Structure 1
Amino acid sequence: MRRLTTVLTSLTVAAALLSGCSPEQGSAPEVVVTGEPGQVPVLEYEAPLTVGEARAEVVWEGEGPSVADGQPILVDYYAEAGADASLVGETFTSDPRPYLLSAEALGVDIYRALSGRTVGSRILHLAPPSDGQSSSTVAVFDLLPTRAAGEPVEPRDGLPTVELAENGEPTVTIPEGEPPSELVVQPLIKATGPQVEPMQVITVQFTGVRWSDGTVFDSSWDPGKLPAPFPIGVGSVIAGWDEGLVEQTVGSQVLLIIPPSLGYGGTDQELATETLVFVVDILAANGRNS
């Protein structure tokens, strides 16, 4: 049975980034990092760069909450081979990567480099060559939000109510009465990021609830799950998402009430006749300027 979470693919940081010794705090004066938040960082150093021991340095500290062990994180990364400054891999021109904050998911050195940092931080990480490699690695990690943030919006009367847990997970309560017959789009948190455009891939947290009985049928907030990337405005998720999330702003939280005609249709017989309620946190959109 198809669910939104089946679209999520397993994405891993390049193996060259996931090896090395445990990092130490301290400066890395031979590497200068410039560039604005959300933009591809520029690394300046003399190649070949030799790294004898892995270490991490905070380029700038974010104002968000500290990331927690075992909980989802969302990162943009950019990495070069220190030997010749050639590109190893990056996500700034594609989609950020979700991970659980653990040594198993990230590797010991990157886990220690990111552990305890605050959302919004940029971290420089230097790692010596691992087995079978001839070059050190110079990497930058940006810790992105995993929940919506912005100005609360007072929803209009008669809509489902949404309460947020401390980590941002929504609980949806369905009101009495028949569901709307047309698509309802209600921002709950309005952010100042760029607008979502058709043909983009958005990264989201979401919870989906049946109007008929208020039960959750899918959620990226479930234990062990991660924020999920979806193409938008191309007819590849469900029509209600395409119509309701295009032109919303990155960082916002949106309540969608989707009638059966704009839902899963014949792709999911169990949900084909259901009115669906989604709470969607828009975390990123490829090609973003924020």
Structure 2
Amino acid sequence: MRRVTVLLVALVLATTAACTPANETPPDVQVSGDPGSAPELSFPTPYAVPTQRVEVLVPGDGPALEPGQPVLLDFYAESAEDASVIGDTYSSEPRPFVMSAEALGPDLFAALSGQSVGARILQLAPARQGYPATVAVYDVLPTRATGEPVTPREGLPTVTLAADGEPTITMPDGDPPSENVVQPLIRGSGPQVQAGQAVTVQYVGATWTDGTVFDSTWTDDKLPATFPIGVGSVPDGWDEGIVEQTVGSQVLLVLPPGQGGEAGLNDQTLVYVVDILAASGGPEGS
């Protein structure tokens, strides 16, 4: 895990090198596979990478990337020297960044600027800071739920979304339910989440009593969070609510006292809105 994280930092730093224009196809480098799944790379070795090159392989058809907003990336990288795999988030989990030159490096930021969710980008980076020259592919993943809206049952908290997808929860009058409530609000078209996977999510949590927000990934840098699901690493209400939902979904969880797992709030009913962005690993390696 640490090796992949350090490598990604190195690849991002490598984007400060000189860059050829986007969409200029690097010779002898071929990429196969669909966006969202691990690519297959083909190139002669050793492959000379004197300067950085960037090509947009697939333009995205989702929301446009906006400066200062989160960007979620999967990547796969091979050594240009011998085609050995030196980084792969598809077998672990995607990495979130703020969409800025400071976080991404000026040239990768420039390559992503004007792109949209769903884009696939090829990057050739020269050797830098002790790492070999690399051939890498980046997939731009959603940072909010995408799918078909679902009409919730009556009597539950209502959820409104800001332009960037951040939820606001309004509590109804009356007493909270005595049992866990799992209510999809948006049904994504991705695979079902399996117990034992790592899920990448955006979420906000509020108390039923007065609607006070006590936790949210949407504040500050608005970066998604990743954690294991269905293995007892999160509160029981989260395991019950997220396992078997589909990637891309937004789910409303209403968790009675003791089910939300929030320190200092064990005596309260807690309400979460969770956007499921990705699910990685698991018993079948999906």
TM-score using structure 2 length: 0.92
- For these two proteins, the number of residue pairs brought into alignment is 277
Alignment partner, residue 139 of structure 1: 136
- Listed as ranges, the matches of 1:203-282 within 5 Å are 203-264=200-261, 268=263, 270-282=264-276
Give 1:13 deviation, angstroms.
4.7
Alignment partner, residue 38 of structure 1: 36
- Listed as ranges, the matches of 1:123-138 within 5 Å are 123-133=121-131, 135-138=132-135
The one-character-per-residue Cα deviations of 1:158-213 (angstroms, maximum 9, x if unpaired) are 10000001111000000011111100010000112111111111000000010011
Alignment partner, residue 5 of structure 1: none
Alignment partner, residue 80 of structure 1: 78
In 2: Cα distance, 1:209 partner to 1:131 partner: 44
8 Å CA contact retained: 1:54, 1:109? no
Decide which of 270, 274, 278 is 1:284's aligned counterpart.
Answer: 278
Tell me the amino acid that sits aligned with residue 272 of structure 2. F
Query: Equivalent residue of 1:262, what SS?
Result: coil
Query: Equivalent residue of 2:258, what SS?
Result: helix
Say what the alpha-carbon RMSD is for the aligned residues: 1.8
Listed as ranges, the gaps of 5+ residues in structure 1 are 1-10
Decide which of 177, 180, 183 is 1:180's aligned counterpart.
Answer: 177
Query: Equivalent residue of 1:260, what SS?
Result: coil
Alignment partner, residue 92 of structure 2: 94
Alignment partner, residue 71 of structure 1: 69
Query: Is 1:104 equivalent to 2:102 in the alignment?
Result: yes
Inter-CA distance 275–158: structure 2 relative to 1 (3 Å threshold): same
Query: Equivalent residue of 2:239, what SS?
Result: helix
In 2: Cα distance, 1:280 partner to 1:14 partner: 27
In 2: Cα distance, 1:147 partner to 1:197 partner: 20
In 2: Cα distance, 1:122 partner to 1:37 partner: 6
Query: Identity over the aligned pairs, expressed in percent?
Result: 57
Give 1:131 deviation, angstroms.
4.4
In 1: Cα distance, 2:138 partner to 2:170 partner: 38
In 1: Cα distance, 2:62 partner to 2:28 partner: 28
8 Å CA contact retained: 2:73, 2:139? yes
8 Å CA contact retained: 1:198, 1:234? yes
Inter-CA distance 22–173: structure 2 relative to 1 (3 Å threshold): farther
Inter-CA distance 91–183: structure 2 relative to 1 (3 Å threshold): same
8 Å CA contact retained: 1:73, 1:146? yes
Give 1:132 deviation, angstroms.
4.2
Give 1:101 deviation, angstroms.
1.4
Decide which of 144, 158, 161 is 2:158's aligned counterpart.
Answer: 161
